A and B are shown apart, each in its own frame.
Chain A
Amino acid sequence: MLKIDQFAYTNRLRSAHPAEKFVFAALTLAICLIVSRPLISLAVILIMAGSIVLWAGIPLRFYLKLMLLPLSFLLVGIMTVAFSISRRPFSFLWAFTIGGFSLGITPTGLELAGNLLLKSLGAVSCLYFLSLTTPVLEILWVLKKVKTPGLFLELMLIVYRFIFVLMETAFKIYISQVSRWGYASFKTSYLSLGWLAANLFTKSYYHSQILFNALSARCYQGELRVLEMPYTFSRKNFALVALLELALLALAWWTGDDIFV
């Protein structure tokens, strides 16, 4: 989480217009979700991996680790898709039968599961591209431009800001507990963790009140308005994004006419 945030501020695409990156991620995500073809999903995964590693300069190892995160969830998830139960055991590639019911893998189930896996990874990689190259603030800026309700955006901003304050507070409490043998045994660990959680809650509540005071002290009247940073559009980048998206669509078109499943 923290590492992602750091990369968002230090990657090579940092200075690119946030709308360019947003459009790129969103269009590719849309194509990946709408066009149900393993080839397209694979292409999306590759394009995004290329953009993230080669273009934005995120270390490959780190990116692979990130991709492993959803993989574990996905594998559990697609198991239920791959396996099916039936009374007729002949359609299975592999199955075992208990009391007239067969549990096993069918070719269609396997295909569906594979599709789903690739599609999910493709979609996740689009989101990773956005979060690794674009700081949250700039994503908020784009969301504001597309008329997302202000309250929603302010909440996102405050949540984002206070994740860090909260983590720091939690870390400080943790250190103070560790230094007094708070995690020396299973029992004390259990108690300490409980204290940490409880204190974190009261501290955040206290923090929120002070923040409100501090905002009021600066004439806060219910709206968090800040100056927007100037960004410059790059025609080259837009052309590149358009080209990539068209290529993806063309690939989808070329590999068959039943694009939408």
Chain B
Amino acid sequence: MSEVILEALGIEFTYPDGTRALKGVSLRIFKGKKIAILGPNGAGKTTLFLHFNGILRPDRGKIRFNGQDVSYKHASLLDLRKNVGLVFQDPDTQLFAGNVFQEISFGPLNLGLSKQEVWRRVEEAISATEIEGLKDKPTHFLSYGQKKRVALAAILAMQPRVLICDEPTAWLDSRQALRIVDLFQKINQQGVTIIFSTHDVDLAYSWADYIFIMKEGAVIGEGVPEEIFKDEALLKEAELNKPWLLDVAQFLKKKGYLAERAPLPKTKEELLRSLAGADIACSNNRLRAVP
């Protein structure tokens, strides 16, 4: 059992306009995991993220990072924001500097690092997100996908231990989305815990280690992807579709193309591989059947 890095304990939050965005949310994020948070619009995902980063302070309940309560004093907040990086959904709200290089340098400079160190981290984040060509470009010349990468690089340069992304693949074309997912994979392999919200059930199913489902300001379900997506009632309540892989695999099992006890495929490749295996199994059966 790995240790809990980030924890929400009974978070309740109401916006000044009276919207009850969170109604007692409790969840634990384990270190080094890939977490997906699913749920319809208005479920409170973004509000929860703003709590994880200390931007919002809960009316009731508390946030705990690395086993310690966030006290909302200056030093404790800075420590939280240094360790928990938050990438906003709309990059235009996050980017303020004139050019890409300077934009990325803002976060690490705030951490009080030396100029050489900041320089090194900026270069590192730029090469990790593959935006070398954009370095000197003013941010308003960039396309949406490019802005999204720059916003991510700006957080990566702070080297957070937990990376939170609000709908990282929203509005991206499928190739761009795939690049972001690949990048997440690399970051995660370096030991960074990743939390992201998404409407893409296929992505969540294939990629996440653990899934939380939110609705109307509460967590209504959690578990590993295989379990979560088996729960038809839960999916219906959360207005979520079933990942196509699961649908297809269950169909194939019913029809006998896949062994009933075979593990559910997590990616298209896995499914194809087990189908190729099934093919061989089928032909063996046929061979046996012929005489």
* Chain A residues near B (Cβ < 8 Å): 5, 9, 135-137, 140, 157-158, 160-161, 164-165, 168, 207, 210-211, 213-221, 224-227, 229
Contacts and interface: CB of A to CB of B under 8 A. Distances in A.
Contact of B140 (A157, A164, A219, A225): A164
B223 interface: no
B81 interface: yes
Contacts of B85: 217
Contacts of A215: 96, 106
A137 B102 contact: yes
Contact of A219 (B107, B115, B119): B107
Contacts of B94: 211, 214
Interface centre among A168, A217, A224 (most CB of B within 10 A): A217
Nearest to B97: A226
Interface in B80-123: 81-82, 85-86, 88, 90, 92-99, 101-103, 105-107, 109-111, 115, 118-119, 122
Contacts of A135: 98, 138
A9 B115 CA distance: 26
B138 A227 contact: no
Given A160-B98, A210-B93, A226-B109, A219 B78 contact: yes
B81 A221 contact: no
B258 interface: no
Contact of B154 (A137, A207, A218, A220): A218
Contacts of A213: 50, 55, 88, 93
Given A137-B99, A218-B154, A226-B103, A165 B92 contact: yes
Given A161-B95, A161-B97, A224-B106, 4 more contacts: A157-B97, A219-B81, A227-B102, A227-B118
B158 interface: yes
A94 to B, nearest CB: 51
B154 to A, nearest CB: 7
18 contacts: A5-B138, A135-B138, A137-B99, A161-B95, A211-B94, A213-B88, A215-B106, A216-B81, A218-B155, A219-B78, A219-B107, A219-B110, A220-B110, A224-B97, A226-B103, A226-B109, A227-B102, A227-B119
A130 to B, nearest CB: 16
Question: B interface, by DSSP: helix, strand, loop or mixed?
Answer: helix
A213 B97 CA distance: 15
Contacts of A161: 95-98, 139-140
Given A9-B138, A157-B97, A229-B101, A218 B107 contact: yes
Q: Which 5 pairs, one residue from A and one from B, show the smallest C-beta to C-beta distance?
A: A137-B98, A227-B105, A226-B102, A219-B110, A164-B140
B55 A216 contact: yes
B53 interface: yes
Q: Main SS of chain A's interface residues?
A: helix
A215 B90 CA distance: 14
Nearest to A223: B110
Nearest to A225: B109
A220 B82 CA distance: 11
A198 B102 CA distance: 33
Contacts of A225: 106, 109-110
Contacts of B93: 207, 210-211, 213-214
A217 B119 CA distance: 20
Nearest to B50: A213
A165 B141 CA distance: 11
Nearest to A162: B96
A158 B96 contact: yes
B155 to A, nearest CB: 7
Contact of A137 (B88, B138, B141, B155): B138
A227 B105 CA distance: 6
A164 B141 CA distance: 10
A214 B98 contact: no
Contacts of B103: 226
B99 A218 contact: no
A5 B95 CA distance: 18
Contact of B55 (A217, A221, A226, A227): A217
A227 B88 contact: no
B119 to A, nearest CB: 7
Nearest to B106: A226
Nearest to A227: B105
Nearest to A154: B96
A106 to B, nearest CB: 50
B109 to A, nearest CB: 5
